[in-house]
Amino acid sequence: MMSTSDLNFEYQFRLILIGDSTVGKSSLLRQFTEGRFIEVSDPTVGVDFHARIVNLDGVPIKLQLWDTAGQERFRSITRSYYRNAAGGLLVYDITNRTSFEHVKEWLDEASRCAEPNRVVFIMVGHKTDQVKQRRVTTQEGEQLAEQLGIQFVETSAKSGTHVEDAFYKVAKEIYRLLQTGEVRVKDGWDGVKKATPRRGINAAAVAPGPQQPPTSKRKADGCCG
């Protein structure tokens, strides 16, 4: 199977996943990039990296995906990734009300630390498969997202419900802002980068479905340049 490094793409969008520890950020990424769910996984240490090519209006775009640790002791590492992100997923666990109450705090921090360019976030209520354990209603999620002025979706990495939608919504909004000039490709900023054309690659071969494999490597600590 073809990896993201073997495919041609026109743009690269850097996305970051933020939210409290154990809300399921890593599970969402694995479902989106690998099409699989792992019931139990260790908490992310520092930052974990994945990637996937998606097709937006016939344009192949590489999503560079950074999964950040939610624990307080790793927050200084997480903050260093905000400035080079074009957008991301702000995730809470619908069975954990505290994680929902921390959403605004995460968004405020991202807004303070991000590059002074428009950063697109979507609020994600995760683990909808755990119906009996739900502590945050869909209506509450919708109301908070409206107050914060961001999009909202509920997902389940276990069932795959709306996982694709969450990532595509962010990517589509960044692409729209890129087309209108509200987000620009800039030197020294990795949020949105224009790719160098490669010969001999058929961009039409890029498929948007979950069968596309990721490029994934562990980043235990450190930060991007």
Distance, in Å, from the CA atom of 211 to the CA atom of 135, rounded to the nearest integer, reads: 33
Pick the CATH number of 8-196 from 1.10.1040.10, 3.40.50.410, 3.40.50.720, 3.40.50.300: 3.40.50.300
Q: Which tokens sit at 141?
A: 């999620």
Q: Which 8-state DSSP code applies to residue 18?
A: E
What local confidence, expressed as pLDDT, does residue 190 receive? 84
Quick: pLDDT tens for 96-132: 999 999 999 999 988 887 776 678 999 999 999 999 9
Residue type, 67: D
Distance, in Å, from the CA atom of 191 to the CA atom of 175, rounded to the nearest integer, reads: 12
Q: Which 8-state DSSP code applies to residue 64?
A: E
Name 206's bridge partners.
none
Looking at the chain, which runs of residues are DSSP E strands?
Answer: 11-18, 47-56, 59-68, 87-93, 120-126, 151-155, 192-194, 217-219
Quick: pLDDT tens for 124-157: 999 999 999 999 999 999 999 999 999 999 999 9
In terms of residues, how long is the chain? Answer: 225
How many other C-beta atoms lie within 10 A of the C-beta of residue 127? 24
Quick: pLDDT tens for 5-39: 545 899 999 999 999 989 999 999 999 999 999 87
CB within 8 A of 188, min separation 6: which ones? none
